[in-house]
Structure 1
Amino acid sequence: MHTTISTQNAPGAIGPYSQATKIGNLIFVSGQLPINPQTGEMPESVEEQAKQSLENVKAILEAVDSNLKNVVKAIIFLKDMNTFAKVNEVYSSYFDGNYPARSTIEVARLPKDALVEIEVTAFIEE
Structure 2
Amino acid sequence: MTNPLVSYPCDPDTPTSHLPFSPSVVVGDLIFVSGQASVDDKGQIISDSFEGEFRRSVENLRKVLVSAGSDLAHVVQTRNYVRDAEDVALYNQLYREYFPDPKPARTTITNCLPPSLRYEIEAVAVRKL
Both proteins in one fold, TM over 0.5 = yes
Q: What does residue 85 of structure 2 align with? A: 81
Q: CA RMSD in A?
A: 1.9
Map 1:1-126; keep pairs closer than 5 Å.
1-37=5-41, 40=44, 42-110=46-114, 113-126=116-129
TM-score w.r.t. length of structure 2: 0.86
Identity among equivalent pairs (%): 29
Return 5+ residue gaps in structure 1 as ranges. Answer: none
1:32 counterpart SS class: strand
Equivalent AA in structure 2 for residue 119 of structure 1: E
> What does the per-residue CA deviation read over 1:15-56, in whole Å, with 9 as the maximum and x for residues that have no partner?
111000000000000000111327945141001101000000
The size of the alignment, in residue pairs, is 125
Q: Relative to structure 1, is the Cα distance of residues 104 and 33 closer, same or farther in structure 2, using a 3 angstrom cutoff?
A: same
2:123 counterpart SS class: strand
Equivalent AA in structure 2 for residue 60 of structure 1: V
Structure 1 residue runs of 4+, over 3 Å off?
38-41
Return 5+ residue gaps in structure 2 as ranges. Answer: none
Output the CA distance in 1 between the equivalents of 2:112 and 2:128: 37
Decide which structure has the larger Cα Rg and report it: 2
